[in-house]
Every structure is written in structure tokens, then in C-alpha cells.
Amino acid sequence: MYQLLFFVFAAAAVGFAVNLLAQRHPIHSALSLIGVMASLASLYLMLGAEFIAVAQVIVYAGAIMVLFVFVIMLLNAAEEERTDRSRLARWMGLPLVLVLLSAITAILYRQVPPDSMVRFGDFPGQTAEIGRRLFLQFLLPFEVVSILILVAIIGAVVLARKET
């Protein structure tokens, strides 16, 4: 059952990702990206990481993608115009992608021995446990990241402000 669902959602994630590139209208691409993120959330859920899955939906599929769609709508972006693809991309694109994918697979396979791979339900997602780890074990990285985000927010405000 889990295996079947894994292949369904994995196929959905890859399918949406390919569709994201193939679509010519920005809104359709954005919708495909939402599909990718939702499929990934389902995969997290099957690993048992409930909190991560829901955070993925709330933050990425919910908040960030709504902003994407909002901006696309606000700018009223039309279909993109395609130039003739370069000859190099046309003939070498697909083989090179395959080379890249197989290289990543080979490295992952060598780094992670097969018997130590993650299995379904490996991360029983105690939300309280994530919080405890975040505030005890990983306190410094957590705070550094929040300061980084604060700096980014202030930077965005400064950039967006009208010059007087």
C-alpha cells in the first residue's frame, strides 16, 4: 500500500516538475510547482514526518506560492515567447540530463549503503521533539537563521521604499 502510494506521489512530483518546464504560461507553471510541493509533502507524510509535511504545505504550497501567483496576476504576465532553441541544447540536452541524474544516483548509492536507507514511518513526527531539538541542540543555527531572515526582511523594505 505504502509502496504503491510512494510511486504514485513520486511520479506526480516528477510529472509536475516536467510540466512546470513545458508550460508556456507562468500561471500554469506556478500551478505545477504547487503540485510538486504537495506531492513532496505527501512523501514526507509517508516517512512519518507529519510536522515537516504540514509545514511544507503551509509555508511553500500555501504562503510562498500564493505570493508567486499574486505577482504573476498583478503583472498580468502573458505567455512567454520562445526563441529557437540552441542546437547544442536540442541534441545534447537530454543525454546530459541523463548523465547528471546517473552521477547523482551513483554518488548517493555509494555514500548511503542500501541497508541504511530510510524506510516508511522512519521519523515518527513528534512535533514536541522537533521543538526540543530546535531550542536545545540546534539553538545557535536556529537563531542565526532567524537573524538572517530578519536582515532579508529589512533589506526588502529598504529596497522597496520610495526614494524621497
Partner 1 sequence: MSLPVLGFILAKIVVVLAVLLTTVAYAVWFERKLLAHMQSRWGPTRVGPHGLLQPIADAIKLLTKEDIIPSGVFRLVYLLAPFLALVTALLSFAVIPYGPSRQVAGVDLFQISDLDIGLLFVLSVGSMGVYGFVLAGWSSNSKYSLLGGLRSSAQMISYELAIGLSVVGVLLLSGSLSLRAIVDAQAGAAWGVLPRWNIFPQFVGFGCFLVAAIAETNRTPFDLPEAEQELVAGYHTEYSSMKFAMFFMAEYANMLTASCMATLLFLGGWHGPLFGPAALQAVLPLFWFALKVFCFMFLYVWLRATLPRFRYDQLMAFGWKFLVPVAMGNLILTSFVIAVWAG
Q: Which residues bind partner 1 (CB under 8 A)?
A: 25, 27-28, 31, 34, 50-51, 54-55, 57-58, 61-63, 66-67, 69-70, 73-74, 125, 127-128
Q: 155: part of which helix (H) or strand (E)?
A: helix 139-160
Identity of the residue numbered 32: S
Measured CA to CA in angstroms, residue 107 lies from 63, 97, 102, 113 at distances of 34, 16, 9, 11
Q: Minimum Å distance from CB 27 to partner 1?
A: 6
Nearer to partner 1, 75 or 159 (CB): 75
Q: Minimum Å distance from CB 59 to partner 1?
A: 9
Q: Where are the alpha helices (DSSP H) in 23-138?
A: 26-47, 50-55, 65-75, 87-111, 127-136
Nearer to partner 1, 1 or 159 (CB): 1
Rama region for 118: left / alpha / beta (φ>0; ψ in -120 to 50; rest): beta
Rama region for 135: left / alpha / beta (φ>0; ψ in -120 to 50; rest): alpha
Q: Minimum Å distance from CB 117 to partner 1?
A: 25
Nearer to partner 1, 91 or 142 (CB): 142
Nearer to partner 1, 70 or 138 (CB): 70
Dmax over CA atoms of the chain, in Å, equals 63
Nearer to partner 1, 70 or 91 (CB): 70
CA dist 52 and 61 (Å) reads 13
Q: Minimum Å distance from CB 70 to partner 1?
A: 5
Q: Minimum Å distance from CB 57 to partner 1?
A: 4
